Amino acid sequence: MPMATASDRPAALVIEDDETIGRHLHTGLLGNGYSATWCRTGTSGLSAAHSARPDVVLLDLGLPDMDGIDVARSLRADHPDLLIVILTARSDEIDVIAGLDAGADDYLVKPFSLTVLLARLRAHLRRRPTTAPEGPASLVIGALTLDIAARRCLLNGAEILLRAKEFELLAVLCRNQGAAVSREDLMAQVWDENWFGPTKTLDVTMASLRRRLHHAAATAPIPTRPLEITTLRGHGYRLERPESG
């Protein structure tokens, strides 16, 4: 494991015996700024929690070798600051209550979207001052540098002043550059407390962000191609990779 990148990413441990869900979670976390370990049993999960020192554990309650509730209790006893999110089927409501009583911080009912999971984790990790910030400290896309830690957006070194939501919107697109990001994902990640609400605010913020990026490129002392954000009708947006433009 490369220590330099591992240290500034939150570490997640997935304890899930279902191959499809486990792989989906593992790759999804890896692709979204986490380091991730995947264990398929309670025993291996508990042992990985000791060795990998995760910030967050995603814990399936229906494990082949142990009762997930016991795993939650043991994790909580050994790691007081660990964020524990239990994963369960709707029919297991009693298990949710037992899991929370055993020390879990939150739960998600299967099936759940990766987007919602990531939004929940962000919300939890934000409230934990001891936890490392999510993802890399800065993102570089062509001439643009997004300094996540300092919340500054620089084009060829010149600062572009962005409002908070414009910055967060751009950060999500930059993290997913070249890939389509749905409106729902953007709403969940940038306005996470009301992602079921109206999405007009997304259009307004996107229009303003595009204006600022184009203005900055047009007025830059060095000729600079603006970042292209493509609208995908009926879906969302995609930040084009600079080399494709």
Q: Which residues pair with residue 144 across a beta bridge?
A: 141, 155
* Distant-in-sequence, close-in-space partners of 136: CB < 8 Å, separation ≥ 6: 5, 8, 9, 33, 148
Dihedral of CA 46/48/53/58: which sign? negative
Task: Considering the complex, state which of residue 55 and residue 95 has its C-beta at the smaller distance from Ca ion.
Answer: 95
Task: Considering the complex, state which of residue 94 and residue 140 has its C-beta at the smaller distance from Ca ion.
Answer: 94
CB of 84 to Ca ion, least distance (A): 16
Q: What type of residue sits at position 218?
A: A
Binding site for Ca ion (CB under 5 A): 17, 60, 62
* Cis ω before 111 (30° cut-off from 0): yes
Task: Considering the complex, state which of residue 15 and residue 144 has its C-beta at the smaller distance from Ca ion.
Answer: 15
DSSP string, 184-234: HHHHHHHSGGGTTS-SHHHHHHHHHHHHHHHHHHHT-SS--PPPPEEEETT
Task: Considering the complex, state which of residue 8 and residue 17 has its C-beta at the smaller distance from Ca ion.
Answer: 17
CB of 52 to Ca ion, least distance (A): 20
Task: Considering the complex, state which of residue 70 and residue 203 has its C-beta at the smaller distance from Ca ion.
Answer: 70
Sheet with 11-15, side-by-side order of all strands: 35-39, 11-15, 56-60, 83-89, 106-110
CB of 228 to Ca ion, least distance (A): 43
Q: Of all residues in this chain, which one has the CB nearest to Ca ion in the complex?
A: 62
CB of 32 to Ca ion, least distance (A): 23
CB of 59 to Ca ion, least distance (A): 10
Secondary structure (3-state) at 121: helix
- Give the number of other CB atoms < 10 A from CB of residue 96: 19
